[in-house]
Amino acid sequence: MRKFFGTSVVAVSAAAMLALAGCGSGRDGDSDSGGEAAKGFAANSLIGVALPAKTSENWVLAGDLFTNGLKEAGFQADVQYAGASTTVADQQAQITAMTTKGAKVIVIGATDAAQLSTQVAAAHAAGAKVIAYDRLITNTPDLDYYVAFDNFKVGQLQGQALLDGMKAKKPNGPYNIELFSGSPDDNNAGVFFNGAMDVLKPEIDKGNVVVASGQKDVKQTAIQGWKAEGAQARMDQLLTSTYGNKELDGVLSPNDTLARAILTSVKGAGKPIPVVTGQDSEVESVKSIVAGEQYMTINKDTRNLVKETINMVKALQAGDKPQVNDTESYNNGSKVVDTFLLPPVAVTKANAAEAYANDPKLAPLTK
Amino acid sequence: MSRIKDLQKNLFGGTTSNARQFGMIFTLVAIVVLFQILTDGLTLRSDNLIALFQQNSYILILAIGMLMVIVAGHIDLSVGSVAAFAGILVAKSMADWSLPWPVAILFGLAIGAIIGAWQGFWVAYIGVPAFIVTLAGMLLFRGGNQYIGNANTIPVPEGFREIGSGFLPEFGPNTGYNNATLLLGLAAAVAVVWREIQARKTRRAMDADPAPMWISILRMAIMVGVIAFAALRFASGRVGTSFPISGIILLVLVIAYSFYTRNTAGGRHIYAVGGNSRAAELSGVKLKRVNFFVMMNMSVLAALAGMIFVARSAASGPQDGNGWELDAIAAVFIGGAAVSGGIGTISGSIVGGLVMAVLNNGLQLMGVGTDRVQIIKGLVLLLAVAIDVYNKSQGRFSIIGSLMRPFRRDDSAPPASPPDAEREPAKAAVSG
Amino acid sequence: MSDVPILLEMRSITKEFPGVKALSDVNLVVRAGEIHAICGENGAGKSTLMKVLSGVYPHGSYDGKIIYQGSESKFSDIRASENAGIVIIHQELALIPGMSIAENIFLGNEPRKRGAIDWKAANRMALDLMARVGLEEDPDTLIKDIGVGKQQLVEIAKAFAKDVKLLILDEPTAALNEADSRHLLDLLRGFRSRGITSIMISHKLNEIEAIADQITILRDGRTVETLDVKADGVDEDRIVRGMVGRELSSRFPDHTPKIGDVFFEVRNWNVRHPISADRQVCKNESFVVRRGEIVGFAGLMGAGRTELAMSVFGRSYGVYESGTIIKDGKEIVLKSVADAIDNGLAYVSEDRKAIGLNLLDDIKSSTVAAKLSKISHHGVLSEVEEYQAAEAYRKELRTKAPTVDESVSKLSGGNQQKVVLAKWMFTDPDLLILDEPTRGIDVGAKYEIYGIIQRLADQGKGVVVISSELPELIGLCDRIYTVFEGAITGEIARADATPETLMKQMTSTKKLATR
């Protein structure tokens, strides 16, 4: 009885294996269709867009623009946001699902740019093109393109605006300035700072501009975690130590949040308001600019960034090589990624109304 | 008629599985089939199955430990934070101190053990409720993760990534399949057959009639069929992919812990403590030791899960582990564990975890956003437990259980008097 | 009696659970103003019948009719039956320990004034209700600060707050001492004289004989008979005959003890209370047990018998202070329950549901729970040996269960107790301590348990029995120690033991040595 039992089981299982093997799909080769780029794909293909959690209005806006823009262009769009609490894991699963569904292009606004290499590799292996949107995905050789605003340019605009602003207030130098930079763990922070120093360094070397505290090294200027209170504390300390009887003409601030913290500190010390730069076009800062306190900010229009990304997708569909304008600067740790950089726009009180004309939220503030 | 009756009695309940667990397996199959249809066959495609296992192995590993914690009558809210804390330390150890990755894995497990000992100490020896201890741990180790990592993302080397994103190697003749996965499937099939034979032996030794031979064969055929199907699916993915390493780790843990909880005195003691801690203590169970062990074990598994996630993500980041405790707890409760402790099985929790995983995956394949996925998952958790609670209060088995009633082995039923036995299927047909 | 109007009639009540017919065709007629006792062995269907009556099992879930105050009642839940004046007081009291007497009395039924609870009125009404049940306490006293007896009275007061017409008491005196029991029975008589009808479920046949007007006896879910106590001249034996369906010639099996030498001795045992360290719960207690001997411990509730037993059993109660345990001539130190088990001690606790059994377990895992090493090989449990051990005990102790896979929660009290006994017999003990081994167990099962105890003694084991029922101690034990306020006050041989002598020493500190 036992014998019969054993053999019959083996027989059944063998039969099942064979039956399934018969109808099994076999395996795809290492489908490196990713390599032969120039073929294009069907015009109604699926395009996946994986964005971070809806924590800022920018991402919500980008998602809507992608959904509508891709549909208008004739694609099927699958736009997904990561969940609010389980961001990275969600995004990983979403990218994988898009790959499984056969998306031809996957656009990724990474929640954590260093934690997606496995999924990007899988997408690439399945023949999808991967475009990093706004944030450069690192440590993967499988990323195809990167679209973002030119952050070096942002720094340059900030530096230039600082000089222009001080000149407008006081025709002749030397000008006393202080430097602030962003969080040391953010790649972009260094890029902003270097861009600004690209403009400021020659003037400093000439002696036309003086960093009165002497704190010029990025280690000294950095504000951990982009924290407003960090900037305010550093400014307080600088005012006490350096500006007892000196006049502060300008402050290089990497973004709006820090700019407002710096202004708060200066006002608290009862000093005249210096020229302060910023970035991001935050509502409070735009108000501040219109009121004549903060000197400038940077406008990075999400609409343009999305438009360029969709243009890339269209080019890929047609089998063309998408337009890129930088093939050298962006090394993600594994390769230099072909990049399309959009120019940012510097906004001061003078051009605020024009710059925000298309922005339903900011436009009213400038009137 | 008698054959049908045999089938009803024996097909799936041959071991000690209960109706609830069987209901969950049925639900899982139903959800898989549903999504297989809704996604035009994407759900069961090789690459999706592989991704499904990779994506969820760490949650399922947590569910194993969580099951034991919940059975002992506790809860652990800190697993996500512990995973993230161990993950960042392991990543740092490789990046900054250049620990070779195998040593780093041991280091990670040791961190888990130390954290577990810390939490176990408060729970078992001081008597602080586990809810509080692990709520504190949740904050403590999340903060520790951010403090050590400066909220940075730290990449890990290739070798280490294998445990999260690696696959069984390719070797041997070109069969059109991954040979390693095929061998694994074969081993599993043999194990199923061997277990069935052992179970029959045991039944005979207990002077109970084993199920009729043809039932055993049918049952094995179904299981072997499922294994063969899965093995072929996993083996036929893109070249270079196959059954994932993280899946192997999970399988080994499931088998080991199932054995431990079912077949050893230590496992029994966990159930005894959760069922009635005072009675357990008066039966010679070392209460403190059991509580200490389950809490410590949980943290070790959390550290392992954290490392697997880091390996799969190729880097340790500040967001790692967010919300994992809830996924693991949900898996355990969907899998039939009792909130008050004392009841639950490893296999049930794994099935519960898979239900959530397939649901998640299927909805994502359909392009449903995370917001709605969360709503649906929340409702599923509530419904699964509510149905069970309601039916228990009505003195019946779960709806799914009663649907499946014809298949349930019912030892407690009096030796089937014919009219009774005839009535059962009829009742089930009505409720179905 | 037949001229008194019928208050309640339950007609052909049948209630089925999956696989079990708990009640079949049960009839009950209760007349206004009487005390009606319902007797039956555990599992006879008494509780189920009361649950049907009180709406726990709603109308439609059973067959048959309930006619109450002249019309058919279809209670959908407890609230419906309470609104009709039927209040059930369960064996496990439904009071909230952290709330005051008044709060408990009016819980869910609070007197209100403009939406807010009117505590002044509540306290006043509480005092009035408390007076009716003879409870003299401040209504603001917390429930946890009063004894079980008084808690029982609070429950009854709570029933009066709901304007009770039919009071159902399930084992009301099970947890009460002599004095409290007597007070409660007097109270019931008082209610009768005021026209309140009571139904009482009890195992204490002497109480039933003393107080009941009518007795309905259930057996195996059927009505056996209804007796009129006065008219039929009912006594205890008559009730027992109805319950078990046969004449029990003796309440105890015949037994000739085979007593050997002293093998277990506790000397100068001192233990402090676990929380209030200044309270000494064991005061220099010493006792001996001989092989083959059944030793009784008599004492009032709270005398410290359980505390003594548990502190000896691996220090599982209180804070050990001093004292030695000598077994087989050697001193042993038992620091944990595991030590105690390894040294051949077994303790069967008084509360099997709370601390004796894991009610989630089945019979077989309960049986082996205290000595898993016996069925383990290299750490792996043997399912087969577990089954065989459990099955052997099931047969030996004649536990009524279809298989050993049955959950212990489904067993009757007597059968649960047999499982607990099996669990401890499985550890091969030399000394068994049985704390209230027959509490809540019906007459037939008691007889069997006594038999088991005697057999264990005959195997050369020492058995210690702690019991609050003096007849049980006198009938079963070879020697009895009396305990009063944490001290052993006397030692009485079987031949000299009468309820009077025991009671005298149980209530006095004077140490009398009769041997």
Q: In terms of DSSP bridges, do strands C262-272 and C319-327 run parallel, antiparallel, or are they unpaired?
A: antiparallel
Say what percent of chain A tops pLDDT 70.
88
More confident residue, B12 or B170: B170
Cβ of residue B365 closer than 8 Å to a chain A Cβ = yes
Longest distance between any two alpha carbons in chain B, whole Å? 74
Mean pLDDT by 10 residues, chain C (515 residues): 79 81 88 89 80 88 90 88 88 82 84 80 87 85 83 86 87 77 87 88 82 88 86 79 67 86 94 84 93 91 87 91 93 93 92 83 91 89 90 89 86 87 93 89 83 93 90 90 90 87 73 43
Predicted pLDDT of residue C246: 60
Interface contact flag, A6 B197, Cβ < 8 Å? yes
pLDDT tens figures, B228-247:
999 998 998 888 888 999 99
Domain ranges of chain B: 1-38+403-432, 47-166+265-395, 167-243
Q: Pick the residue from chain C with its C-alpha nearest to B421.
A: C19
B interface test, pick of A27, A186, A187 with most B CB neighbours within 10 Å: A27
Interface contact flag, A16 B374, Cβ < 8 Å? no
pLDDT tens figures, A255-300:
898 999 999 999 998 889 999 999 988 888 999 999 999 999 999 8
Predicted pLDDT of residue A108: 93
Q: Pick the residue from chain C with its C-alpha nearest to B288.
A: C336
Interface contact flag, C360 B343, Cβ < 8 Å? yes
Residue B7 has pLDDT above 60, yes or no: no
Q: What is the mean pLDDT of the segment spanning A224-236?
A: 87
Q: Three-class SS of residue B184?
A: helix
User: Are A242 and A316 in a shared domain?
Assistant: no
Interface contact flag, A86 B323, Cβ < 8 Å? yes
Q: Pick the residue from chain A with its C-alpha nearest to B40.
A: A101
pLDDT band for position B400 (50/70/90)? very low
Residue B418 has pLDDT above 60, yes or no: no
User: Are A287 and A305 in a shared domain?
Assistant: no
pTM value is 0.77
Domain assignment of residue A15, yes or no: no
Inter-helix orientation angle B101-120/B79-95, to 10°: 150
Q: Three-class SS of residue C510?
A: coil
Cβ of residue B179 closer than 8 Å to a chain A Cβ = no
Question: A225 to chain B: which residues are within 8 Å by CB?
Answer: 151
CATH class as words, domain B47-166+265-395: mainly alpha
Predicted pLDDT of residue B4: 57
Of A125, A94, A124, whose CA–CA distance to A109 is shortest? A94
Question: C369 to chain B: which residues are within 8 Å by CB?
Answer: 268, 272, 280, 283
pLDDT tens figures, C148-180:
778 888 888 888 888 888 999 888 877 777 778
Domain assignment of residue A9, yes or no: no
Contacts across the B-C interface (CB distance below 8 Å): 104
Mind giving me the DSSP string for B379-395?
HHHHHHHHHHHHHHHTT
Domain assignment of residue A13, yes or no: no
Predicted pLDDT of residue A57: 72
Domain assignment of residue A26, yes or no: no
- Determine contact, residues A27/A68, Cβ cutoff 8 Å: no
pLDDT band for position A222 (50/70/90)? confident
pLDDT tens figures, B273-290:
999 998 999 999 999 999
Interface contact flag, B281 C388, Cβ < 8 Å? no
Interface contact flag, C316 B282, Cβ < 8 Å? yes
User: Are A225 and A113 in a shared domain?
Assistant: no
Per DSSP (E only), the strands in B184-333 are 315-316
Neighbours of chain A (3+ CB pairs under 8 A): B
Q: Which helix (H) or strand (E) holds C322?
A: strand C319-327
Q: Do chains C and A touch (3 or more CB pairs under 8 A)?
A: no
In chain A, the number of structural domains is 2
Distance from CA of B36 to the nearest CA of A (A): 13
Predicted pLDDT of residue C82: 87
Residue A84 has pLDDT above 50, yes or no: yes
Interface contact flag, C360 B207, Cβ < 8 Å? no
Residue A85 has pLDDT above 80, yes or no: no
What order of strands is seen across the sheet that includes strand C71-72?
A: C20-31, C6-17, C63-68, C71-72
Predicted pLDDT of residue C355: 83
Q: Pick the residue from chain B with its C-alpha nearest to C392.
A: B206
- Determine contact, residues C324/C368, Cβ cutoff 8 Å: no
Homologous superfamily assigned to C252-344+429-515: P-loop containing nucleotide triphosphate hydrolases (3.40.50.300)
Q: What is the mean pLDDT of the segment spanning A174-192?
A: 86
- Determine contact, residues C431/C346, Cβ cutoff 8 Å: yes
Cβ of residue B340 closer than 8 Å to a chain C Cβ = no
Closest CB to B238: pick one of A4, A97, A125.
Answer: A125
ipTM entry? 0.77
Interface contact flag, B313 A113, Cβ < 8 Å? no
Closest CB to A115: pick one of B217, B313, B322.
Answer: B313
Neighbours of chain B (3+ CB pairs under 8 A): A, C
Domain assignment of residue A57, yes or no: yes
- The dihedral built from the CA positions of residue B385, B390, B395 and B401, taken in this order, carries a sign that is negative
Cβ of residue B343 closer than 8 Å to a chain C Cβ = yes
User: Are A206 and A288 in a shared domain?
Assistant: yes
Mind giving me the DSSP string for C235-288?
-HHHHHHHHHSS--S-SS---------EEEEEEEEEEE-SSSTT-EEEEEEEEE
Domain assignment of residue A16, yes or no: no
Domain assignment of residue A11, yes or no: no
Predicted pLDDT of residue A290: 92
Distance from CA of C58 to the nearest CA of B (A): 11
Q: What is the mean pLDDT of the segment spanning A90-115?
A: 90
- Chain B residues 24-43 within an 8 A CB cutoff of chain A: 42
Average pLDDT in chain A = 84
Domain assignment of residue A19, yes or no: no
Predicted pLDDT of residue B89: 95
Interface contact flag, A16 B225, Cβ < 8 Å? yes
More confident residue, A1 or C388: C388
Residue B119 has pLDDT above 80, yes or no: yes
Quote the CA–CA distance of B344 and A46 in Å, as a whole number: 43
Neighbours of chain C (3+ CB pairs under 8 A): B
Question: B318 to chain A: which residues are within 8 Å by CB?
Answer: 112
Predicted pLDDT of residue A30: 45
Q: Look up the domain containing A58 and give its range.
A: 38-143+301-342
Q: Pick the residue from chain B with its C-alpha nearest to C368.
A: B283
Q: Which helix (H) or strand (E) holds B419?
A: helix B418-431
User: Are A225 and A256 in a shared domain?
Assistant: yes
- In this structure, the number of other CB atoms found within 10 A of the CB of residue B367 comes to 18
Question: What 8-state DSSP symbol labels residue B18?
Answer: -
CATH class as words, domain C1-85+166-249: alpha beta
Quote the CA–CA distance of C161 and C167 in Å, as a whole number: 12
Closest CB to B414: pick one of C19, C313, C391.
Answer: C19
Q: What is the mean pLDDT of the segment spanning B411-421?
A: 34
pLDDT band for position B130 (50/70/90)? very high
Distance from CA of A79 to the nearest CA of B (A): 8
Residues of chain C with CATH 3.40.50.300: 1-85+166-249, 252-344+429-515
Here the CATH number for the domain that contains residue A333 is 3.40.50.2300
Distance from CA of C401 to the nearest CA of B (A): 9
pLDDT tens figures, B19-34:
566 777 888 899 999 9
- The dihedral built from the CA positions of residue A231, A233, A234 and A239, taken in this order, carries a sign that is positive
Tokens 């900011």 locate to A362
Interface contact flag, B220 A12, Cβ < 8 Å? yes
In C, what residues contact B, Cβ < 8 A? 17-19, 313-314, 316, 336-338, 340-341, 347, 349, 354-361, 365, 369-373, 376, 379-381, 383-384, 387-388, 391, 402-403, 405-407, 410, 423
Predicted pLDDT of residue B5: 54
Residue A163 has pLDDT above 80, yes or no: yes
